Structure 1
Amino acid sequence: MSGTFTRLDRRKIRVAARGAEERRLHRRLPLHLQGRYLDSRGQEQKCRLIDISPGGAKVATRNPPMPGDFVVLLVDGLGRLDGRVLRKGDNWFSLQFAAHARKRDRLADAITWRFNMERLGLSEDRAAPRKSSQGRAVIHFNDGVKIDADVVDVSISGAAFAAIERPRIGEEVRVGEMRGHVARVWEGGFAVSFMPPSSSSASAA
């Protein structure tokens, strides 16, 4: 399907789904991924993410480090993240990442992708280069019709899809657990604006 679209088409698709991209950079999202961290003494400890944003994370662990400690966090699906501990509880700690703007932008893409994979029923496209915004999805319409589409871009509030079939603007659709309406349509694709999920409460990073 990838050969069907020109570079301009792909650019239009990406632009169409960027409406909430800046907001996601400052939002904590629940993301329960397993991992481990190296404490200030170089000892490895098991942990699990509670929530995360490109600026920091809250982490569950049996042996939380002390505020001010610098730790290296290794999270399945997100890779290496390091930063300084801000607060701690009996079985958790929060840290602020030490990362430059480009790395934070890449992390925002990875967080968004992981957050949306399960709730949108997305599967990664193993045949394509690994990018945070590639995969396959099934789009369900109210009349019972469903179509397969390539995920070109995804954010917390919407996604863009490449597909031969194109719905009407305003038409309601379902993707995985998420419902929304078609916000834009163009040759080779369309963008969906999601209704906010009731269970996802985000807080500032």
Structure 2
Amino acid sequence: MPAPQTAASTVTIDARSFQRVVVNLAGRLMLPDYTELECKAVDMSPGDIHFHCAALPKIGDRIIAYIDHIGRIEGSVIKVVDHGFVTTINATDRKREKLAAQLTWLANKTALGLPEDRRHERIAPRSARSELALDDGRAYPCRIIDLSMSGCAVEIEVRPALGTPVRLGTMRGKVVRQFQEGVAIEFASMLSRENFEAYR
């Protein structure tokens, strides 16, 4: 009778089936001894992530990282390479789907040409669930992929037309782009720094 497959090996095999995306995202990570270090994600998929970092953990070490535009990631080190290491990403199927949407957005944001990408810092909010409301009273659940002081991108099943006035929570704006997973919204007025920081 074959030996049962471990959870770690399952994650590693699954990770190979995901499409990788080249990224350049700053972040910080915490090692098992609670040491915090600056790091950079250089490529990733919904199943694993390649970090550049000054310190190198050991294979098997559990890592918690906070990455710009992505948020919190947990995983275990599976490979040590020059100037960095690769970790698995421990996540549910739903979380992987969301991460795939975020990576698609990052890969395509230059082509989308969103003006707020160039003007303001974008973050992946800590609490991403929200609701997008139209002027006619219709409202749809959505997930904020990333957010800046002047706009955001949301994952949503419907695609309101360009220029449609919308309300995301208490923030009013209009649809300025459509993409595969949802729409991009430009706010009618910029968020205050205090309100923006509350999303971290």
Question: What is the CA-CA distance between 1:121 and the residue it aligns to?
Answer: 1.9
Aligned to 1:154: 180
Q: Equivalents in 2 of 1:121, 1:128: separation in Å?
A: 13
TM-aligned CA distance change 1:130 to 1:119, over 3 Å:
closer
State the TM-score, normalized to the length of structure 1.
0.51
SS at match of 2:154: coil
User: Quick check: 1:97 aligned with 2:89?
Assistant: yes
Query: Which sections of structure 1, spanning at least 5 residues, go unmatched?
Result: 1-24, 138-148, 162-205
TM-aligned CA distance change 1:104 to 1:86, over 3 Å:
same
Would the aligned equivalents of 1:113 and 1:132 in 2 still touch at CA under 8 Å? no
Would the aligned equivalents of 1:69 and 1:85 in 2 still touch at CA under 8 Å? yes
1:37 partner amino acid: L
Q: Where in structure 2 are the equivalents of 1:2-151 lying within 5 Å?
A: 26-123=18-115, 130-132=153-155, 150-151=176-177
SS at match of 1:54: coil
Instruction: Figure out how many residues of one structure are paired with residues of the other and give that number.
Output: 122
Q: Equivalents in 1 of 2:109, 2:153: separation in Å?
A: 14
TM-aligned CA distance change 1:132 to 1:111, over 3 Å:
farther
Q: Equivalents in 2 of 1:78, 1:32: separation in Å?
A: 12
SS at match of 1:31: strand
Output the aligned Cα RMSD.
3.2
TM-aligned CA distance change 1:53 to 1:122, over 3 Å:
same
TM-superposition CA deviations, 1:59-103 (whole Å, max 9, x none): 100102111001001101110001010001241100111100011
SS at match of 2:96: helix
Identity %: 27
Question: What is the CA-CA distance between 1:123 and the residue it aligns to?
Answer: 3.6
Q: Equivalents in 2 of 1:98, 1:88: separation in Å?
A: 18
| Structure 1 residue ranges, 4+ long, deviating more than 3 angstroms after superposition | 123-130
Query: Which sections of structure 2, spanning at least 5 residues, go unmatched?
Result: 1-16, 117-146, 163-174, 185-200
Q: Where in structure 2 are the equivalents of 1:184-199 lying within 5 Å?
A: none
1:42 partner amino acid: Y
Q: Equivalents in 1 of 2:76, 2:180: separation in Å?
A: 30
Q: Equivalents in 2 of 1:84, 1:34: separation in Å?
A: 19
SS at match of 1:102: helix
Query: Relative contact order: is structure 1 or structure 2 higher (C-alpha 8 Å, sep ≥ 6)?
Result: 1
State the TM-score, normalized to the length of structure 2.
0.53
